[in-house]
Structure 1
Amino acid sequence: MRRDTELPATFDRYVIERVLGRGAMGVVYLAFDPRIERHVALKTLQQPAGGKNDHELTARFLNEARAAGRLAHPHIVAVYDYGETGDTAFITMEYVRGETLAAHLAQHARAGTRMNPLAALRWFAQLLDALDYAHGSGIVHRDIKPANLLISPRGECKVADFGIAQLDASTLTQTGTLLGTPAYMSPEQFTGEAVDARSDLFSGAVVLYEMLSGVCPFTGTPGSVMRKILDDTPPPPSSVVPALPAYVDELVMKGMEKHPQERYGCAREWRDKLISLLAADSNEDTERTVLSHERVSSPIATPSPQTQLDPELIAHLERRLASHVGPVASLLIRRACAGAANIDTLRERLSAHLPNDEARRDFDSLMLPAGAGMPRVIGAQTISAENVNAAATRLTTLLGPIARIVARRAAARAADLRSFYAQLLDAVPERHREALRREWGVEVD
């Protein structure tokens, strides 16, 4: 690859379309993979001249590929491949359409507005899901910040950039090594103490504070930021935005405790606490405050006996809603169903919580009469988004990155869950079919 700024036509097997971004470690391109016909993000690094700092950059680059490559999670940017060609190393990653959370926050700052608190909590719950998965795989990110969180058009939050992640006993993260972005670093990162998963929780709390208040709690020169993180406790978010529910302060401030043992024990504990607080908050005035920036066309009724809507439809709607808004879907479904006289009322209430028109069209298609877009069901064998995602993840170890395409195409052709799995079995090597058949419960004809 050339060292000038002229855009290369191709790189390895990839067709380069445009530059997505530039950073200290290299250039990220939007590229097309003609073999499996999909767009990817191609992150490149010019091979260093040989100095100590240059070798450190190379080590971080490979560290990112190894860290993210271990992880297959809907809220973590997937890494498909790592390679070297000529004097350039590259990582092939999932291309996420959308923008960074940093860009989203900057737009609000320019407009003099703040994020919708429900959207902030929804994205934060997704971040905690991703961290719980990464930590369970022995990986600490170490650089959680708005610039490393991508927001897709469907309203999904995805964690990116594992360049300084700690992989078990990584030599990049020895005690005493100062790595990270100062305003979001934990106290133990500054002091050089041992860093574990709770360091990511501190950084996540700083991000949540900024999403809710529009203000980063630690600002100034690097030296000033370090002193504030080590010694100062910022005012609670509700002191900046008085309308925020009181429980938000508890969620944020506990996450920003100076000592790791005083924070939440793990991301899963924090996420469960967040969901339980949202579920317990049934006060209508509080709810309207949280939803104040949503497009609500009719108020949500005070809970009343559940409308007799099809339970199977409700369960399917909850799963699809969760793909757009995350774990708060169950709470929103429960409130929308309260007193809903018919399916049209339910559609109207739920559509108000979707992030954009594309998501609303996708969701509305599930609520059409049977035969006009409803999920195909034989008995209870619905093909759900969870089925497709789980199958794609399972097949990745057998088929590689093409697994997701195979799963989506099988779902489009299948009449029911059984035929979906049967088509997937035809796509895998024969030696693996029997084990998968037993795992998925597919009977032999």
Structure 2
Amino acid sequence: MPLACLDEPTFMDLLFGTLPSDRAALVDEHLDTCPSCRRMVSEALKVQPPTDSGQAVPEEEVLDSQLATLAVDPWRGKKPRLRLPTPPLARGTAVGRYLILEMLGVGGMSVVYAAYDPELDRRVALKLLQVEALGLGAEAGRTQVLREAQAMARVSHPHVVSVFDVGTFGRQVFLAMELVDAHTLRKWEHDGPHPWRQVVEVFLAVARGLAAAHAVGVVHGDVKPENILVGQDGRVRVTDFGLSRIMFGAVVPPVLPGSPAHPRAMEGGTPAYMAPEQFPPEERTDARSDQFGFCAALYEGLYGERPFAGATVEELSQAVHAGRVKSVPRHSGVPQWLRKVVVKGLSVKPEDRHASMEALIAALDADPAARRTRRLRVAGASLLLLSAVGLTHVLNRRDVTGCEGAARAMDGVWDASRQQAVEAAFVGTERRFAHDAFRHVRRGLDSYTAAWVTTRTAACEATRVRHEQSEAVMALRMRCLDARLADVAALTQLFTQADPDLVERAPRAVEGLTPLAGCSDVEALTSRGHSSSDDPAARDRTVALLQALVDARALRAAGRYSQGVARVEPVAQSARAAGDWSGAADALLLLAELKDGAGDYRGAEATVLQAAWTAEAGRNDDAAARAWTLAV
């Protein structure tokens, strides 16, 4: 089958010499018969740097030689490439304050390295923009790139890859960015199929990232699946804000096949996702252009094909300017209300699209079926804070002989009513990222509580079904799990009274919940030396201590350190005075952490040493190890 004109991926593979041999043969055959594609390649080759010898070669000589090779056999001898302006940086090279670790990838306009930031003790992604290869070697060009990159650094949002720092390295500009373990949305889509609701959920995160950028005056300019990352943690992030404008706005790029020759670049964007105003001769980009690209990508995610037909840029431009959106594929399963929302965002005239990205978000979030479901859920069970000690008794009373029913423990802790109350509190803060924060919290707590149910059931079955452990060991494991669930209950109760600061901290607070694995470590649990007491005063003291620890941990997670100190300090001293060394150690250790967070460093130091010696006396090895570590 004859090859169509070179698309962007094929073009870049050609320049970097990464085309597979079978594909290369087709490209070779096509270049013999297509003047526009040969012109495109020739324009790209013009920006090649001097030869390896360092001897400058006249542009015409380089171009004629390489085009002659292309005309006869593009794969005879060395493949035509755009070489890096400099060799890859060696490990340990200092770029600003950052130390190069390894190269992660090479793109048409940049090189990305993993690097180490010694000041903040963290790994970052370091993107070096190849200014020289772009024809931006002049000081004015670097100044423009630097100004655009600094604008990108103003965008701070959970669904945007963070830009930490911007600077120059020789004649290049670097961006220090969040290092994300992720793959592109394109790969996520290829790994599908995904239900339409899941696709919308992912794109809602993208839309909120774009809205945050627009709020500080930053336009992406090239919204497409390749610029959207889906992390291993499930979080969706938008990357390369403004880079399309940085990379293309000040250079004369290759003339794409089928497009009219024009003396300057299209102002960023990939043709399949470009709004009408981004095509020549208008070439302007604003927030509504991002909306168009977003809806084009969403259309593709929902229907598995792009919204406009066209084998060349010219044909695509004609379809886009005419507003000829493809008809709905058969059996897509996508509801009509959603198609209307997407097609509105693909309107030819910017003013006919959604008023803003926030308006588009509201339209996508207005699923009629979901609204009906939410109304049915508001059946309103009374809210209940479960105490750490009382939970085991309640569950055992409900289920005397079997191990079923652990999921009932979520009533009042993380059920539909509590989730609705938390969501309402978050949204009520009117913070732009409140919806995203709640989604992260919901995902994290859903995972944690599901693991809790599984672990509790397994602990019960190990004694009463498989007979692998004693009732005493099961009781220790249950007490540990009760404490973990009490932490969840206290945290979600706090979330129902969220303020803007708490909304910001909420995702990290959920991630900071104590891992459940400790409740399966029988050796560690038995070494704590817990013993029951018939003394009512001792039992009351234990309940008060555990409840105070639960409350204080939730306050610590919320950043309310002073309140946490006031909550836990009296019970810590009470437990120590009563000789409950193990319990007092837990309380003192938490008290030290709270004082440290509140800025009382001297008090924290004294308290952590007190916690360490108290833990040693109470054989609380876990608290002792953590206390000595914190003291160091």
User: What secondary structure sits across from 1:261 in the alignment?
Assistant: helix
1:201 aligns with 2:285: no
Over 3 Å counting, the alpha-carbon distance change for 1:86 and 1:58 in structure 2 is closer
User: What secondary structure sits across from 1:8 in the alignment?
Assistant: coil
| Distance in 2 of aligned mates of 1:71 and 1:427 | 33
Over 3 Å counting, the alpha-carbon distance change for 1:411 and 1:267 in structure 2 is farther
Trace 1:101-250 onto structure 2 (pairs within 5 A).
Answer: 101-108=185-192, 114-164=193-243, 178-190=267-279, 191-192=281-282, 194-218=284-308, 219-236=310-327, 238-250=328-340
Over 3 Å counting, the alpha-carbon distance change for 1:54 and 1:424 in structure 2 is farther
- Indicate which of 476, 479, 483 corresponds to 1:371: 483
Structure 2 runs not aligned, ≥5 long: 1-83, 252-263, 385-411, 427-433, 457-480, 514-551, 564-594, 602-632
Over 3 Å counting, the alpha-carbon distance change for 1:82 and 1:184 in structure 2 is same
- Indicate which of 174, 177, 186 corresponds to 1:90: 174
Shift of 1:276: 1.9
CA contact (8 A) 2:414 2:492 kept: no
| Distance in 2 of aligned mates of 1:153 and 1:90 | 26
- Answer 1 or 2: which has greater helix percent: 2
- Indicate which of 365, 384, 388 corresponds to 1:275: 365
CA contact (8 A) 1:48 1:55 kept: no
CA contact (8 A) 2:221 2:242 kept: no
| Distance in 2 of aligned mates of 1:304 and 1:316 | 10
User: What secondary structure sits across from 1:92 in the alignment?
Assistant: strand
1:76 aligns with 2:160: yes
- Indicate which of 129, 144, 151 corresponds to 1:45: 129
Over 3 Å counting, the alpha-carbon distance change for 1:363 and 1:257 in structure 2 is farther
User: What secondary structure sits across from 2:166 in the alignment?
Assistant: strand
- Answer 1 or 2: which has greater strand percent: 1
CA contact (8 A) 1:17 1:31 kept: yes
1:8 aligns with 2:91: yes
CA contact (8 A) 1:376 1:416 kept: no
CA contact (8 A) 2:112 2:125 kept: yes
- Indicate which of 409, 426, 444 corresponds to 2:599: 426
| Distance in 1 of aligned mates of 2:304 and 2:492 | 49
Kindly indicate whether structure 1 or structure 2 has the higher relative contact order, using CA contacts under 8 Å at least 6 residues apart: 1
- Indicate which of 368, 387, 390 corresponds to 2:504: 390
| Distance in 1 of aligned mates of 2:91 and 2:504 | 37
Shift of 1:115: 2.5
Q: Deviations over 1:250-308 (max 9, x none)?
A: 1111111111111111111111122122555648xxxxxxxxxxxxxxxx9x8684455
User: What secondary structure sits across from 2:203 in the alignment?
Assistant: helix
Q: Deviations over 1:44-69 (max 9, x none)?
A: 13452894587787456424422221
Shift of 1:91: 0.8
| Distance in 1 of aligned mates of 2:437 and 2:558 | 25
CA contact (8 A) 1:139 1:166 kept: no
Over 3 Å counting, the alpha-carbon distance change for 1:232 and 1:415 in structure 2 is closer
User: What secondary structure sits across from 1:24 in the alignment?
Assistant: coil
| Distance in 2 of aligned mates of 1:31 and 1:9 | 9
Shift of 1:192: 0.8
User: What secondary structure sits across from 2:187 in the alignment?
Assistant: helix
RMSD: 4.7
| Distance in 2 of aligned mates of 1:415 and 1:231 | 54
Shift of 1:163: 3.3
| Distance in 1 of aligned mates of 2:270 and 2:325 | 18
| Distance in 2 of aligned mates of 1:41 and 1:50 | 21
TM-score in terms of structure 1 length: 0.67
CA contact (8 A) 1:41 1:95 kept: yes
Over 3 Å counting, the alpha-carbon distance change for 1:235 and 1:143 in structure 2 is same
Report the equivalent of 2:459.
none
Count residues with an aligned counterpart: 366
Identity of aligned residues (%): 28
Report the equivalent of 1:293.
none
| Distance in 2 of aligned mates of 1:148 and 1:268 | 20
Report the equivalent of 1:20.
104
Report the equivalent of 2:576.
none
| Distance in 1 of aligned mates of 2:491 and 2:186 | 45
Over 3 Å counting, the alpha-carbon distance change for 1:39 and 1:363 in structure 2 is farther
Shift of 1:230: 1.3
CA contact (8 A) 1:40 1:95 kept: yes
Trace 1:262-301 onto structure 2 (pairs within 5 A).
Answer: 262-278=352-368, 280=370, 282=372
Find the structure with the greater CA-based Rg: 2
Shift of 1:85: 3.0
- Indicate which of 338, 343, 354 corresponds to 1:253: 343
Over 3 Å counting, the alpha-carbon distance change for 1:44 and 1:416 in structure 2 is closer
Over 3 Å counting, the alpha-carbon distance change for 1:412 and 1:94 in structure 2 is farther
| Distance in 1 of aligned mates of 2:491 and 2:364 | 36
TM-score in terms of structure 2 length: 0.49
Amino acid in structure 1 at the alignment position of 2:92: A
| Distance in 2 of aligned mates of 1:227 and 1:365 | 54
CA contact (8 A) 2:228 2:236 kept: yes
Q: Which stretch has the larger CA shift, 189-198 or 384-393?
A: 384-393
Q: Deviations over 1:384-411 (max 9, x none)?
A: 8974663699xxxxxxxxxx99x98998
